[in-house]
Amino acid sequence: MLKPPSDMPMYGNIEKSPLDFSEVDTRLPMLVYMSREKRPGYDHNKKAGAMNALVRASAIMSNGPFILNLDCDHYVYNSKAFREGMCFMMDRGGDRLCYVQFPQRFEGIDPSDRYANHNTVFFDINMRALDGLQGPVYVGTGCLFRRIALYGFDPPRSKDHSPGFCGCCLPRGRKASASNANPEETMALRMGDFDGDSMNLATFPKKFGNSSFLIDSIPVAEFQGRPLADHPSVKNGRPPGALTIPREILDASIVAEAISVVSCWYEEKTEWGTRVGWIYGSVTEDVVTGYRMHNRGWKSVYCVTQRDAFRGTAPINLTDRLHQVLRWATGSVEIFFSRNNALFASSKMKVYAPLDFLFLSLTKVDSPKI
C-alpha cells in the first residue's frame, strides 16, 4: 500500500533533485455534490428522505463502510475525529457498533448562554451516562454511522438477549431462537445466530429496490467494515491486505445508476424509510432512527475528543431558539404515542436502555414549551 503523506515539509530543487512521490498517496478523495429529484405528488420526506437518497447514491459511487452525518450549519473542527470514530468501529468487538455520536459544540454564543444552546446537562452528563448502557441516542448531526446498520441488518452474535424492559410484566424468554424470531426483524447478511450465516439475496430487491448496483454493493460494504483479523480473539474479521484491490473507475453507466436511485419514485414498494435507512413519519427522525438500531441489538458509542470534533452555529435570538425546542418537544411526544414507544422495545435491547428513550418522551409531556 502507498504510504500516507508526511507532515514534515520537504524542500528541493526541481531540476537537480526532484521530489520523489512514488510511494506517497497524493490522490484527492472523491467529492460528489448530489441533488435529488423532487416532483409534485411525491413526498420527499425532508431530511430523512435526503439522507436515504445520499446513502443509495454513495453506495454506488464510493460505497464506504462508514458514513458521517453533518448538518449544513456544522463544520469539521478536528479532522482527526474521523480516525477516532473509525477506531471504535474497527476495534475488537466494534463490529456491533452502529454509530459513534460526537457532542454538539457551538460558537457565537454569548458568555452567559442565555438561551441554553450548549445543552450542558444533556451532552456532558446524560450522554456520558448513556454510554455505559447500550449507548447514546442519535442527535441528528455529528454522527459516524456503519453503513450496514443503516441498511436495517442485525448485529453479529446477537443470539443472546436480555428479558427486555417489560420482562418483569410480560413473559419473555432469556434467549430468542431463530425459529421463533420474526424473519423480517432478524434478516441479516451473516448476522443471525451464527457468524457463518449466508446472505438472503433473494429478498434484497423488495427491501432495497431493483438497483443491481446497490444490491451488489451491500456485501462489499459489510466486508470492508469488519475489524482486522490480526488477533485470535477477533471474531468475524477480515484478513490483512484484503482491501488493497484497486477500485473500478466510474463510468457513465455507474453515474446513470446513481442518478436513478435518487429519483422520486425509487422508494416505492420498498422498505426505505420504514425499516431501512432514516425512518420517516416523525419530526425528530434522528431519535427514531437511532432507537430502531438499538432495538435490533446494535450498540453506540459517545466520543468526546480533547479538541471539539465539529462545531456549528446556534440560534441567536429567542424566537429561533423556541422554534427549535418546540420541534424537539413535538417529536418526543410523537414518539411516545407511536409504535416507537420504548415500552414496546424488543428483547434485544438491554434492560435499562429503553428507560432513556422513555425519559426523553415523558419529560416533554408536561413541558411548558409545548
Within a domain: 37: no
What is the distance in angstroms between the CA of the first residue and the CA of the last residue of the chain? 56
Query: Whole-angstrom Cα distance, residue 208 to residue 188?
Result: 13
Within a domain: 8: no
Within a domain: 65: yes
**Strands across the sheet containing 66-69:** 66-69, 143-146, 97-101, 299-302
Residue set of the binding site for UDP-alpha-D-glucose: 46
Within a domain: 295: yes
Backbone angles phi, psi at 333, to 5 degrees: -65, -40
**pLDDT given for residue 194 in this prediction:** 42
Domain count, the chain: 1
**Strands across the sheet containing 310-313:** 74-76, 310-313, 106-107
Tell me, what DSSP letter sits at residue 68? E
Within a domain: 31: no
Residue set of the binding site for Mn(2+): 47, 71
Within a domain: 5: no
Within a domain: 3: no
Residue set of the binding site: 46-47, 71
**pLDDT given for residue 195 in this prediction:** 44
What is the domain range of residue 284? 47-365
Phi-psi region of 179 (alpha: psi -120 to 50; beta: other; left: phi over 0): alpha
Within a domain: 257: yes
Tell me the mean pLDDT per 10 residues along the chain, length 370.
60 61 67 88 90 94 92 91 91 89 89 85 88 89 94 77 50 42 42 47 85 92 86 78 74 90 92 92 87 91 93 87 83 80 78 76 58
As separate numbers, helices (DSSP H) first and strands (DSSP E) second, the chain gives 12, 7
**pLDDT given for residue 186 in this prediction:** 38
Q: How far is CA 369 from CA 10, 22, 365, in A?
A: 58, 61, 10
